[in-house]
Structure 1
Amino acid sequence: MTADTVPRPTDTRMLANFVGGAWTPSAATDSLEDRDPATGELLARVPLSTAADVDGAVTAARAAAATWRATSPLQRARAVMALREVLNAHHDELAELVSRDMGKTLADAAAEVGRGIESCEAATAMPHLLKGENLEGVATGVDVEMIRQPVGVVAAITPFNFPAMIPLWFLPYAVAAGNAFVLKPSEQDPLPGERIVELAASVDAFPTGLINLVHGAHDAVNALLDHPGVDAVSFVGSARTARYVAERAIASGKRVQALGGAKNSMVVMPDADPELMAGGVMGSAFGAAGQRCLAGSIAVLVGTRAEQDAARDRIVEAAARLRTGPGLDPDTDVCPVVDPAAHARLVADIEQAAADGATVVLDGRGDPGPGGCLLGPTILDDVPAGHRAIEEELFGPVLTLVRAADLDEAIDLVNAGRYGNASVIFTESGGAARAYRYGVQAGMVGVNVGVAAPVAWFPFSGWKDSIDGDLHANGRDAVEFYTRKKVVTTRWAA
């Protein structure tokens, strides 16, 4: 299909939906502002699309689904290969768009786009991944085979913190498996998702209506969750919203993968390499201003009090050297948070922790900048047990220090939390690393790696309250989620 015949509007900041191969104005009368978090510049207005808008997108997707399902897996894989090529050709443009719309540094945005393209590369293996199983002669003259078929129409509801990568977690796998697709990007930074859909529309191998986009917020999400034409829902967001999405989607008979929040711990052993540890903690806690579900927001300092204090001092000294500023500035280490509301919420969290007895050993509060979104690295010590700063995801550049006498106590502290997305350990001991990877209750584990992000050939495998559902994004889990198994038992007359 091609979007060239119906150009995307350029003379207005009001975004349009992409439905059935055409940029289509929403029927909504209400909209939200999309602003650059670094400068406050108004980038676009985002329509709060209605159930009627969603119905149009789902109807277009369902109309395209039958044709696409009948297309051979090899042709579908080649279409995703073509999508990979067009995305790669626009890599730098997409990275700059992520930086402007979401705020993250250009280097971080470039890595995000690269990770999204990696998902396309993994999805091109779909002809192999779709292969089923068979067993000949289960009884006299009887053979059995298991085959995989697409689920139908997939809706993806994606978050603000990875506006390019997470849509690309879902789109390539879903369409390579033979499904049609509807994207609802975050209303906070929808421009990268919009551009990805526009680039996908330039791939002629995709039939018209296969890939659609609907802007909006709660009403659009609810309409997708309730629509009888949607067969599966892929979601990433907060734990509370993930649970809501899962329950509502299941109630309407849909398959759902809902990836939720996290409170990831980084265990610092006394023998950790100082530079490796400090660099890993900085990238994990303060990269993307801590707005990652893989961000390490707790550092568990292990050992004697003197060893714990030495680790604390190294972390504080390294964090104090980080520069906060606009994401497009190459000297920036810590980007703005996504919007002024997030900034205000984080400042309130820091103030509450201090009021409850925590020591603010590094304070990032200060001039929020022209966009009202700048918040420097902040480190809390002496936080009371059970406090929100220990138990809940703050989703900002705020690191909480926790202390443990030994590795066993550290593992118990980590496992006591309700989330199980990721956890890492910094150590030079193979025995400690092995004990940690064996005992920690987290789906993604890093050893001397600050951000334990798996490559696209493996699942993004959070545990506990970090996911609702049993199939994760990426890897073989994506193949399982976007297909249904059919078992055929055959007997022929002699």
Structure 2
Amino acid sequence: MTITLTDTLQHWVNNAPFSGDGESRTGKVYNPATGQVARQVAFASKTTTEQAITAAHTAAKEWGATSLARRTAIMFRFRELLASRKNELAAIITAEHGKVLDDALGEVNRGLEVVELACNAAYMLKGDYTESASTNLNVHSLRQPVGVSAIISPFNFPAMVPLWFFPVAIASGNAVVLKPSEKDPSSSQWLAELMKEAGLPDGVLNVVHGDKEAVDTLLTDSRVSSVSFVGSTPIAQYVYSTGTAHGKRVQAFGGAKNHMLVLPDADLDLAADMAINAGYGAAGERCMAISVVVAVEPIADELVAKIAERSKKLRVGDGTRGCDMGPLITGEHRDKVAGYIDAGVASGAELVVDGRGGNVDADGEGFFLNPTLFDKVTPDMSIYTDEIFGPVLSVVRVDSFDEGIDLINSSPYGNGTAIFTNDGGAARRFENEIQVGMVGINVPIPVPVGYHSFGGWKASLFGDQHAYGPEAFKFFTRNKVVTSRWLDPSHGGINLGFPQND
């Protein structure tokens, strides 16, 4: 089982490469470190996407009736295969996304957590039972699969985000159509091949590549029961409104503007290290990246100096060469992020570290932008209001803890946030008062472990169920409650009154 990064990547349907209706539309997949086209990827037409849905719909009934023992046995085999070959997957991620190998491997390991959760599906899906709820009457509940689940994943985590969803969906008895980002699609194909090797039957996991045409087909086809999406807020809103209008349950995870509040009592060396890690890791292309450091005076000057010193020492270049930070995903996105740096300067923010220049360790013309640090940023500036999705860190100065909380709570986003302090009382107040879905205390990127659930508030999530953890099993199944009475021969009589417990 190999993915060759030199050809045109086709779709994956019924456990085999699938060319669909022979559509001619394709997209370019780059190696961001060199700027060169590495391969092409086929773009699915409406007809091709419908064929993948047909395969999933056909497989769903039999797979849903398959025993939990068999479903979890396949998931256990998949877990072992993925754990033994994760370095191979990390190399594919680095080649197409650009993030450094260590970061790519970390992505795979976090995805493995959810696979391990899916291995525990037998426990997560067990129902409840009440004996003698009324005289000779018992009540029990069970969870049944929704049928066909569509997953639309972003470019920034080409392996981890699909792994957040499809293992739980499949272990719960659903068939899946996965539409990965067209910018780095090979990881999803590789994972689908690995699921086949683990013993997954034909049609249970299908992959279609492409753009809005494929997405819209998944959102409107009546055979698709649920949609999971991760991406920007405007597209998340579109996915949610379109999917729900067509009768689907939808979880659509949108954008973010994550703040890190640093109190005067904090360890400033630790805070500076964590700001670097959370702001510049994966070149800032993380929905949980820290993009705003909120410094409570009088520590701003010292904290900014420490962050600047560390920023200038980062080694930027090809992710295969042991660098600290790799390129951005495309030249177009690199230019967009650089435009925000121009806008920050024009708006009057203090440019402490300018990432528009500097050396990089790479061959060719990759899509690089060095770490950038702004100080004295104000909430009316675009570098503060917009999700930049690049290595641009802004420092906002506030005079008090209360002002910092108010600033964070006024954001339209509510994905992740963090506080750095040695004051337990302040930390407790922060976790209770902050209006954000995921909170870190001296932890800059508070992505929950696999057996808790991931998800934000406000414009960072559309839908009412979060990813993975216990909420995932609720999302991918429907609850059914059965009330039963087995009557003995002595029963009798007609009674048209409303049934009552006795």
Q: TM-score w.r.t. structure 1 length?
A: 0.95
> Structure 1 residues 12 and 357 mapped into 2: Cα distance closer, same or farther (>3 Å)?
closer
Which residue number corresponds to residue 87 of structure 1? 82
Shift of 1:129: 0.5
Which residue number corresponds to residue 185 of structure 1? 180
Which residue number corresponds to residue 374 of structure 1? 368
> Secondary structure at 2:58's aligned position in 1?
helix
Write the letter of the residue equivalent to 2:62: T
Shift of 1:357: 1.4
Shift of 1:55: 0.8
| Residue 176 of structure 1 pairs with residue 171 of structure 2 | yes
Q: How far apart are the structure 1 equivalents of 2:446 and 2:276?
A: 14
- Alignment match of 2:348 (pick from 351, 357, 368): 357
| Residue 67 of structure 1 pairs with residue 62 of structure 2 | yes
Shift of 1:442: 1.0
Which residue number corresponds to residue 301 of structure 2? 309
| Residue 319 of structure 1 pairs with residue 314 of structure 2 | no
| Residue 414 of structure 1 pairs with residue 405 of structure 2 | no
Contact 2:15 2:193 in 1 (8 A): no
* Gapped regions of structure 1 (runs ≥ 5): none
Q: How far apart are the structure 2 equivalents of 1:163 and 1:371?
A: 23
Q: Deviations over 1:184-230 (max 9, x none)?
A: 110010011111111111122x1111111101011111111111111
> Secondary structure at 1:276's aligned position in 2?
helix
Q: How far apart are the structure 2 equivalents of 1:384 and 1:262?
A: 17
Write the letter of the residue equivalent to 2:318: P
Q: How far apart are the structure 2 equivalents of 1:401 and 1:131?
A: 48
Write the letter of the residue equivalent to 2:43: L
| Residue 287 of structure 1 pairs with residue 278 of structure 2 | no
Contact 1:154 1:230 in 2 (8 A): yes
Q: How far apart are the structure 1 equivalents of 2:204 and 2:216?
A: 21
Map 1:215-226; keep pairs closer than 5 Å. Answer: 215-226=209-220
Q: Deviations over 1:272-324 (max 9, x none)?
A: 112211111111000001100110000000022xx211111111111111111
- Alignment match of 2:459 (pick from 465, 468, 473): 465
> Secondary structure at 1:54's aligned position in 2?
helix
Map 1:377-396; keep pairs closer than 5 Å. Answer: 377-396=371-390
> Structure 1 residues 183 and 371 mapped into 2: Cα distance closer, same or farther (>3 Å)?
farther
- Alignment match of 1:208 (pick from 202, 205, 224): 202
Write the letter of the residue equivalent to 2:288: L
Write the letter of the residue equivalent to 1:177: S
Q: Deviations over 1:39-63 (max 9, x none)?
A: 1232211112101111111111111
Shift of 1:394: 0.5
- Alignment match of 1:333 (pick from 321, 324, 345): 324
Q: How far apart are the structure 2 equivalents of 1:61 and 1:419?
A: 35
Contact 1:327 1:335 in 2 (8 A): yes
> Secondary structure at 1:253's aligned position in 2?
coil
Shift of 1:12: 6.2
Map 1:137-286; keep pairs closer than 5 Å. Answer: 137-204=132-199, 206-286=200-280
Contact 1:122 1:456 in 2 (8 A): yes
Map 1:69-148; keep pairs closer than 5 Å. Answer: 69-148=64-143
> Secondary structure at 2:164's aligned position in 1?
helix
Instruction: Work out the number of aligned pairs and report it.
Output: 484
- Alignment match of 1:398 (pick from 367, 392, 400): 392
Q: TM-score w.r.t. structure 2 length?
A: 0.94
Shift of 1:372: 4.0
Shift of 1:429: 1.3
Greater CA drift, 23-32 or 287-296: 23-32
Greater CA drift, 82-91 or 361-370: 361-370
Query: How much is the aligned-residue C-alpha RMSD, in angstroms?
Result: 1.5
Which residue number corresponds to residue 33 of structure 1? 28
> Structure 1 residues 86 and 489 mapped into 2: Cα distance closer, same or farther (>3 Å)?
same
Q: Deviations over 1:223-253 (max 9, x none)?
A: 1111111111111101111110011100110
Identity over aligned pairs, percent: 43
* Greater radius of gyration (CA): 2
> Secondary structure at 2:484's aligned position in 1?
strand
Which residue number corresponds to residue 42 of structure 1? 37
Q: How far apart are the structure 1 equivalents of 2:240 and 2:373?
A: 34
- Alignment match of 2:337 (pick from 346, 349, 374): 346
Which residue number corresponds to residue 495 of structure 2? none
Shift of 1:437: 1.1
Q: How far apart are the structure 2 equivalents of 1:366 and 1:387?
A: 23
Which residue number corresponds to residue 476 of structure 1? 470
Q: How far apart are the structure 2 equivalents of 1:224 and 1:362?
A: 44
Contact 2:144 2:477 in 1 (8 A): yes
Write the letter of the residue equivalent to 1:225: L
> Secondary structure at 1:451's aligned position in 2?
coil
> Structure 1 residues 444 and 10 mapped into 2: Cα distance closer, same or farther (>3 Å)?
closer
